[in-house]
Amino acid sequence: MDFDVIVLGAGIVGVSCAIHLQDRSRRVALVDRRGPGEGTSFGNAGLIERSSVVPYAFPRNFGTVLRYARNQSTDLYWDYKAMADFVPWLARYWHESSPTRLAAAARDMLPLIRLCIDEHEALLARAGADAAALVHDGGWIEAYRTPNEFMLAAKRAENLASAQDLRLDTLDRAALLEREPALSDAFCGGLHWRDPKSVTNPGALTKAYAALFTKGGGRILVGDATTARAQSDGWIVQTSDGPISAREIVVALGAWSDIVFAPLGYRIPLRAKRGYHMHYEATRSAALGQPVLDREQGYVIAPMQRGLRLTTGVELAKREAPPTGIQLARAEAYAREAFGLGRPLDAEPWLGLRPCTPDMRPVIGPAPRHRGLWFAFGHAHHGLTLGPVTGRLLAEMMTNQTPVADPQPYRATRF
């Protein structure tokens, strides 16, 4: 065998899996059609989200559902041409979002969420000063435009923070503007979640972790995941350097993971929630200190190395469909004055794919019917958050070590 393990996918999850397997004396090849961190890991809001202890659920509020059905909202846009494919998935998502099932999903995800900061910090300590400089303390702010929404959200948030031992500051209008002078008075208050960290260039952070992998002797190769084939004693994949083989293979392709598992007969309900970003010049003298979520309109403005990044909510459309730009235009109309957005700094919007399962849990662990096949995908909005802890958990499972968290909730056989 050329390697012990081939990891398909060089996003934050795949890179983290490769590092942790290498740390356990495995010879690892990391294969992707692009460079590390150039897919969805490049384009997110840059949050290591320690405070996100409740998964993003399907709304159960009738008013919210009706608003989404009208398809005029900023935080969700759906393309009617894709709905036939999405309706069964959305029905299961709605079912899994009942209060009882959502509470179970939160309990299952909590062990990974609690470890997300520690596992990133462990990699940052090894990746060097340049990588560490990309990651900042300070958390993020959830800002509200209407007093009633803010009052209700503050009560829920304070109860959650108390139950989960999270640091939260509830800010009225004056306190919010004092903490973030770059904001306009469009917001009446905010919730400052202080435990998370923010990343000013998520793609560069993934590349820094990939450099740590190659420094340890790992190989990064350009290849086509659809060429992965089982053979008598392992797996083979075609790369630009020729075919490579290994006894084990990891599918960490995010929203594209089905190009490998579906031909092998696995019917895992993975769908992509699409999202956009665009960078803008900052026009205000005060610099934005941390990411801010406009909660009622459903977009994030985050300070990045390349200006202010506007990251949209969810677009439900076919994975391969061309960009629409609809959500970005809607969000920009609200964000321009609230955040002082200047001229766009990108030639065109960036489009990414969030890999989601309807039960709001990733798939981490062995494939049930193929020896040496492992899964690590489906992290929804939290790939950056959960990449390193996922890599550790999977590597421990693959090397018969005691896992850092119970892997049962993430097993592929649950579908």
> Mean per-residue pLDDT for 123-130?
96
Q: What is the pLDDT of residues 234-291, one digit of tens each?
A: 999 999 999 999 999 999 999 999 999 999 999 999 999 999 999 999 999 999 999 9
> Mean per-residue pLDDT for 56-82?
94
Residue-by-residue DSSP string for 282-308: E-SSSPP-S-EEETTTTEEEEEETTEE
Whole-number Å distance between alpha carbons of 80 and 77 = 10
Residues contacting residue 76 through CB under 8 Å, at least 6 positions apart? 68, 298, 313, 314, 315, 316
Q: Is residue 312 within 8 Å of residue 277, measured between CB atoms?
A: yes
Q: What is the pLDDT of residue 48?
A: 98
Neighbours of 261 (CB within 10 A): 21
Q: What is the pLDDT of residues 326-367, one digit of tens each?
A: 999 999 999 999 999 999 999 999 999 999 999 999 999 999
3-state secondary structure of 273: strand
3-state secondary structure of 365: strand
| Domain ranges (residues) in the chain | 1-57+97-135+197-270+357-415
CATH homologous superfamily of 1-57+97-135+197-270+357-415: FAD/NAD(P)-binding domain (3.50.50.60)
Radius of gyration of the chain (CA): 21
Q: What is the pLDDT of residue 1?
A: 73
> Mean per-residue pLDDT for 212-221?
97
Measuring CA to CA, which residue among 267, 296, 281, 283 is closest to residue 357?
Answer: 267
> How much is the mean pLDDT over the chain?
97
